[in-house]
Structures are given as C-alpha cells and as structure tokens.
C-alpha cells in the first residue's frame, strides 16, 4: 500500500469521519507492507499484511475476463483521463494490470479475485470491505462496483468527488446524488453532480 494512500483511508465504523493512524512494522520504499492502522475514536485496529489492508472477513470474488476490449471499455466508462485515484471492486480488479499499463492513474483494489492479487502487488488492496467504504469523502475519481448492495451504492456516492464516475451492474438501482450517463445490458455509468455554487454578486 502506497504511503500516500493512507491519508485517504477512514475508519468504516458508524461514527464521525476520522483518519487512521498507521504504526508501520515494515516499509519498503514508499510502500507500507506490514502495519497496524488504528482509529482513535472507536479504538478499532485494522491489520495491513503483505500490502493488504483487512477490514473484515475475506470474500471470494469472481474474476472478470481480461481482454484489450474489456480494458478499453472500462477505461472509457470510468472516464479515466485525469490523473487520480480509481477504485476497482471485486471482479473489476482483474483488469488492474492491463488498466495500469494503459492509464497513468492510481488504482485501489477492493477484494480482488485471487488471480488478480499477485499482479496487483504494490498497489493498494483493501480486503473484507463491508457496506461502508473505508475512504474519505470525495477521495475517488472513479469507482467500478461489483458487489452492489444498496448501502454500498449510497456510500459510493459519498467517496466520489464531484464529476467522479460510478459503474455498477445494470440490475442495481441508481442511488440519489448521481446522474446516469449511459447504460447497456451489463452496466450503467453515472456521474456525481457538482455541488451548486452560489455566486456572490458584487455590490455596485
Ligand atoms: Zn473507528
């Protein structure tokens, strides 16, 4: 896990937004390999082991087929033209290596399938992610969601910055606070609305 990513992490427990404090036991270059991350509000501790940060029990996710076509489609759906942090959840993480070659962006993986974990070494990997994303609000440029429960969809809107894209299975409902851009038989893509800006009018 890149040291820079630690700033984006938050305790997923239902209390006020708070960052996690890392006590590193092993660091290589700019990567945390083994560490304990603690929450100073609820006292929860999360273990970073071999670069994977654990929040709950492991889930086994189904890989997605990897091809040039799927890689290009995903890059287009994510609108990943800007440098930034993009999260690939579950099966989407199968595309991490090929997307990493195509795009100059940071990728964070949530519960990647076993086959994708080796290739993802060195990236940020979150394991056992529940219904709340362990991330700061407005910290992601894009999120490709695989396990689309309603709480995960709602919280995905929170962790996206304005203009950030969310991809989810076509069968999932589109949560509030995000505008659908397009859909096909497999997925929909939506964009988080920018907050309304009130322009202060200068007095004459
Ligand atoms: Zn906490």
Q: What is the pLDDT of residues 89-147, one digit of tens each?
A: 999 999 999 998 999 899 999 999 988 877 555 578 999 999 999 999 999 999 999 99
CA of 18 to the centre of ligand 1 (A): 7
CA of 12 to the centre of ligand 1 (A): 7
CA of 52 to the centre of ligand 1 (A): 19
Residues 102, 144, single domain; the answer is yes
Asked if residue 135 belongs to a domain, the reply is yes
Residues 43, 76, single domain; the answer is no
Residues 39, 75, single domain; the answer is no
CA of 86 to the centre of ligand 1 (A): 24
pLDDT of amino acid 120: 58
Measure the CA–CA gap between 43 and 13, rounded to whole angstroms.
10
Question: Which residues, 6+ apart, have CB-to-CB distance to 151 below 8 Å?
Answer: 131, 132
CATH number, domain of 183, equals 3.40.50.150
Sheet strand arrangement including 187-192 = 20-28, 31-39, 45-49, 52-54, 124-127, 106-110, 85-89, 140-144, 160-169, 187-192, 178-183
CA of 203 to the centre of ligand 1 (A): 47
Asked if residue 110 belongs to a domain, the reply is yes
pLDDT of amino acid 119: 59
CA of 15 to the centre of ligand 1 (A): 7
pLDDT of amino acid 148: 95
Measure the CA–CA gap between 109 and 112, rounded to whole angstroms.
6
pLDDT of amino acid 115: 80
CA of 136 to the centre of ligand 1 (A): 13
CA of 7 to the centre of ligand 1 (A): 15
CA of 14 to the centre of ligand 1 (A): 8
Asked if residue 44 belongs to a domain, the reply is yes
Asked if residue 153 belongs to a domain, the reply is yes
Number of domains, the chain: 2
Question: Which residues, 6+ apart, have CB-to-CB distance to 132 below 8 Å?
Answer: 12, 14, 151, 155
Asked if residue 42 belongs to a domain, the reply is yes
pLDDT of amino acid 57: 92
Residues 35, 85, single domain; the answer is no
pLDDT of amino acid 194: 80
Asked if residue 151 belongs to a domain, the reply is yes
Question: Which residues, 6+ apart, have CB-to-CB distance to 103 below 8 Å?
Answer: 75, 80
Alpha carbon separation from 139 to 12, 30, 128, 196, 201 (Å, rounded):
14, 20, 20, 19, 31
Residues 34, 98, single domain; the answer is no
Domain holding 174, by residue range, is 68-192
Residues 94, 186, single domain; the answer is yes
DSSP 31-63: EEEEEEEEETTT--EEEEETTEEESS----PPP
pLDDT of amino acid 26: 85
CA of 150 to the centre of ligand 1 (A): 22
Asked if residue 172 belongs to a domain, the reply is yes
Residues 105, 76, single domain; the answer is yes
**Which residues of the chain fall below pLDDT 70?**
119-122, 196-204
pLDDT of amino acid 202: 58
Asked if residue 32 belongs to a domain, the reply is yes
Bridge partner residues of 107 (DSSP): 86
């Amino acid at each position: 896990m890149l040291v820079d990513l630690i700033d984006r992490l938050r305790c997923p427990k239902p209390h006020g937004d708070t960052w996690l404090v890392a006590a590193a036991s092993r660091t290589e270059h700019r990567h945390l390999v083994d560490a304990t991350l603690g929450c100073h509000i609820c006292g929860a501790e999360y273990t970073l082991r071999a670069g994977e940060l654990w929040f709950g029990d492991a889930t086994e996710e189904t890989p997605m087929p990897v091809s040039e076509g799927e890689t290009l489609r995903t890059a287009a759906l994510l609108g990943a033209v800007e440098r930034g942090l993009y999260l690939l959840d579950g099966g989407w993480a199968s595309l991490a290596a090929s997307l990493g070659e195509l795009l100059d962006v940071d990728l964070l993986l949530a519960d990647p399938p076993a086959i994708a974990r080796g290739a993802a070494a060195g990236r940020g990997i979150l394991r056992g992610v529940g219904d709340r994303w362990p991330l700061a609000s407005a910290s992601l440029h894009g999120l490709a969601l695989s396990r689309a429960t309603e709480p995960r969809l709602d919280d995905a809107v929170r962790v996206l910055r304005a203009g950030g894209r969310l991809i989810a299975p076509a069968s999932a409902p589109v949560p509030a606070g995000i505008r659908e851009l397009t859909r096909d038989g497999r997925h929909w893509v939506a964009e988080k609305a920018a907050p309304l800006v009130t322009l202060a009018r200068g007095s004459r």
